[in-house]
Amino acid sequence: MARKAKVVRKTTETDICLKIDLDKTAGSRVDTTIPFFNHMLELFARHGFLKLVVLGKGDTQIDDHHLIEDLGICLGQAVAKALGKKTGINRYGSACVPMDECLCRVDMDISGRPYLIYNVKYGRRKIGGFDPALVKEFFKAFTDNSGITLHINFLYGDNSHHIIEAVFKSFARAFRNAVDLNENIKGVLSTKEIL
């Protein structure tokens, strides 16, 4: 059974087409019109060992907020669709990833219950023209729409670019651990027998 999905979201503020395939690694392409965020989503695809195709644009002449939030919505919805009933997945994933002077830990539970803990502080306010505060908005939209409990805990470091890169790499690795299929799991990993 193919674990892939496509989500299209078109509003007065954004126009997004996002495709994900959890079991392929080649063919990712990301164009959100926000170069720094393209880089972060490319990191997610590469370190999460998945195929991600994103074409997105929005009213970035006002602010990047609408587009970043809607990208989180689309990714969350696509992940939920691709996982279906979540049969045979590990469910839990954890990763602690260094990026030069930075260290970040991410833990997740594909539980059907959205929750975000986001303990990340940034040094300077902007990275080029990108506002780091939008990263939390992205993950909030992602958790709300994927039904994933997500804990992102930044441990130490001071370069904002490195901090966010460590966040996305650890998110990708934890995600891969959680969505991997485990032959020892029959049905879903829950005493309720539903996630």
pLDDT tens for each residue of 70-115: 999 999 999 999 999 999 999 999 999 999 999 999 999 999 999 9
Alpha-carbon distance of 4 to 92, in angstroms, equals 20
18-64 pLDDT, tens digit per residue, is 999 999 999 999 999 999 999 999 999 999 999 999 999 999 999 99
Q: Structure tokens of 94?
A: 């954890």
In a domain, 113, yes or no: yes
Question: Is residue 170 in a domain?
Answer: yes
| CB proximity list for 96: less than 8 A, separation 6 or greater | 103, 104, 105, 106, 155, 170
For residue 190, being part of any structural domain is answered with no
Given a contact cutoff of 8 angstroms between Cβ atoms, the answer to whether 54 and 30 are in contact is yes
Asked if residue 22 is part of any domain, the answer here is yes
C-alpha distances in angstroms, 179 versus 42, 142, 163? 18, 15, 24
Q: Name the DSSP class of 165.
A: H
- Are 86 and 188 within 8 A, CB to CB? yes
Rounded Cα–Cα distance for residues 108 and 102 (Å) = 20
192 falls within a domain: no
Asked whether residue 184 is domain-assigned, the answer is no
Instruction: Say if 148 falls within a structural domain.
Output: yes
Cα distance between the two ends of the chain: 18
Domain of 86 in residue numbering reads as 4-179
Number of domains, the chain: 1
pTM for the full model?
Answer: 0.96
Kindly report the CATH number assigned to the domain that includes residue 169: 3.30.230.40
Q: How many other β-carbons are positioned within 10 Å of the β-carbon of residue 192?
A: 7
Within a domain: residue 188? Answer: no
